[in-house]
Structure 1
Amino acid sequence: MSLVREVSLLSIDGSWRLVQQAAGDFTPHDQQRPAFSLSGVEITDGQHVLEGASGTVQRFELTIEPGTAEEFGIVVRGDGSQGTRIGVRPAEGTIFVDRRESGQTNFHESFASIETAPILTADGSYEIEVYVDHCSVEVFAQGGQVTLTDLIFPAATSTAVSVYAIGGTARLNDLTVTQYA
């Protein structure tokens, strides 16, 4: 139950790697909605709501540098008390999707979970593309070298988007949020 993907075999740093990209045309049907963008912003310790970036069906394209933070990333489909956290822990070399506070999670004991994958910086930063819809989150990091997909069941009113850092700062080099619905 995920986006159709184009899978390629590429030589990266002398090793062969499978790389995945979302396949298809993701141009919004409603060209009247401008994309939300932000660049060159330091993310201080805490969670910071991005006014004007809220939505339910969206694509996020971001490039972020670690700085001093132990963890940093974005929170999608949030409402102040819940949301799905997509983050990086540089010291651990991991990227994750945390759906423990993503909305309805109590229907099975193992649903509220954190899924992780290994990740390395590319030229000192992380490039992350995230597709979010009514009930799923799909992450393509470092040009599709790392992917994560998870189901979520947020409230219909959970549309806020935030950036966050824990234990220090991170630098958001670029963020573009495309609205689809």
Structure 2
Amino acid sequence: MADQHSRPRWHYSPRQTWMNDPNGLIYNAGTWHMFYQSNPAGTGWGNMSWGHATSPDLVTWTEHPVALLHTDTEEIFSGSCVFDATNSSGLGTTDWPPLVAVYTSNYLAGSSRPSVQAQSLAYSLDGGTHWTSYPGNPVLDRGSANFRDPKVFRHGDGWVMVAVEAAERQVLIYRSTDLIEWTYASSFGPAHAAAGVWECPDLFELPVAGEGTSKWVLLVNLCPGGVAGGSGCQYFVGDFDGYTFTPDAVRGVSTDPELGAADPLLRAYDWLDFGRDCYAVVSFADAPEGRRIVLGWMNNWDYAREIPLTGGRSIMTIPREVDLVRVGDRLRLRQRPIAELPESALERLTLGDGDRVLIRGVALEYRAGVLSLDRRGVGQGDFHEGFGTRQWAEIPDRPATVAVDVLLDTCSIEVFAASGLVVISDLVFF
């Protein structure tokens, strides 16, 4: 991993190991927990396990020993955590209700389910420090090689799971009363960007700013087929009745992997981030005061395995608070850096038409209603042809000027424009 001098100041990064998808994000007993895909044995992908870090404020993180460790026959793929306050699972007690991790078991050769991905449980009775594997694992097995990434949340008097059949570009919804027995409810997809596999779904309710109403948002990460090329995260706004997600609108399906970011259909869809480096985005469970906070892996599978070990192979995005804003005839996701981030961490700019500024070699330009971020002139971009690129996004209503907040770290830049309606996130190497 990076030397001390190049470690991020504001973004979480493990000290010595590979990291990808955030997993099991949850706020519990005054502590923010971040679990994540980790290779405990090296700086490349493999030996998938759950790393663990905690924070009192979402800014200062403490790295802990591996929480869920792979075995010779099972890797621990992505998933989520819930606090089973009523002990519906029976894995704790009334006095000591458990934290329950719901994750994908990726079964290897030598197991009883080689090449199968199924959903399993582990539980903790000490606030997430020690974990016990549920002896009846897996709890949900479709016999599929690509059934993964369960996100579980409480809904009414039961639990809801959203997971993916990745290669079929489908989000599957299941219900349970106890986290152990699951019943199929419905499926969604393919829709919108579907050239690559679908991964890491999330489903949550958000307020609509200024309207006193709410809608549901379905996040779907995909790879490849993102709007900037490679991996990315799209979202759908709609309604959820506990069993079925119904989007407000579907604007066609983009399925041509050869077109990639050049596909004009992609610009008609809703994207959480228009940069190259924001993937596997999911939200924290049980955030206080009704907040919804999302976090992603700041990387792109086009080149993630090749990024030089001089900073930035494994970092997360800054946590972002989200809500919905009505723009014309549709609702858009608005993202803002968490309030806990010091004001001094952000550089605030106002760009007029034709303005172009250099931020430590990164070119930020606003022209004809389009904001672009160009990292082609910033060092160490020659290790992969997909890294030295320019990202862009149209600002809603194409105003004459646009307000921009820039978060610059040792190996990354995140740009929040138009009050967070447009976000562009990129790794950079200074």
Q: Same fold (TM over 0.5)?
A: yes
1:75 alignment counterpart: 358
Tell me how far 1:105 sits from its aligned partner. 0.8
> Which sections of structure 1, spanning at least 5 residues, go unmatched?
29-34, 36-57, 78-82, 155-181
CA distance in 2, matches of 1:112, 1:124: 29
Does residue 21 in structure 1 map to residue 299 in structure 2? no
Tell me how far 1:122 sits from its aligned partner. 6.8
1:54 alignment counterpart: none
1:152 alignment counterpart: 428
Summarize the Cα distance change of 1:59–1:8 in structure 2 as closer, same or farther, 3 Å threshold: same
1:8 alignment counterpart: 323
Summarize the Cα distance change of 1:121–1:63 in structure 2 as closer, same or farther, 3 Å threshold: farther
CA distance in 1, matches of 2:403, 2:397: 9
Report which of the two structures shows the higher radius of gyration computed on alpha carbons: 2
CA distance in 2, matches of 1:14, 1:109: 38
CA distance in 2, matches of 1:121, 1:84: 25
Q: Contact 1:122/1:142 (CA < 8 Å) preserved in 2? A: no
For the residue of structure 1 that corresponds to 2:413, the secondary structure is strand
Does residue 130 in structure 1 map to residue 413 in structure 2? no
> Which sections of structure 2, spanning at least 5 residues, go unmatched?
1-315
Tell me how far 1:103 sits from its aligned partner. 1.5
Q: Contact 1:138/1:150 (CA < 8 Å) preserved in 2? A: yes
Higher relative contact order (CA 8 A, sep 6+): 1
Tell me how far 1:25 sits from its aligned partner. 2.0
1:28-177 paired onto structure 2 within 5 Å? 58-66=345-353, 71-77=354-360, 83-90=361-368, 93-120=369-396, 124-154=400-430
Residue type of the alignment partner of 2:406: V
For the residue of structure 1 that corresponds to 2:419, the secondary structure is helix
CA distance in 2, matches of 1:3, 1:21: 10
Q: Contact 2:352/2:366 (CA < 8 Å) preserved in 1? A: no
Higher helix residue share: 2
CA distance in 2, matches of 1:121, 1:88: 13
Identity of aligned residues (%): 33
For the residue of structure 2 that corresponds to 1:10, the secondary structure is strand
CA distance in 2, matches of 1:94, 1:129: 16
TM-score by length of structure 2 reads 0.25
Tell me how far 1:87 sits from its aligned partner. 1.2
Q: Contact 1:130/1:138 (CA < 8 Å) preserved in 2? A: yes
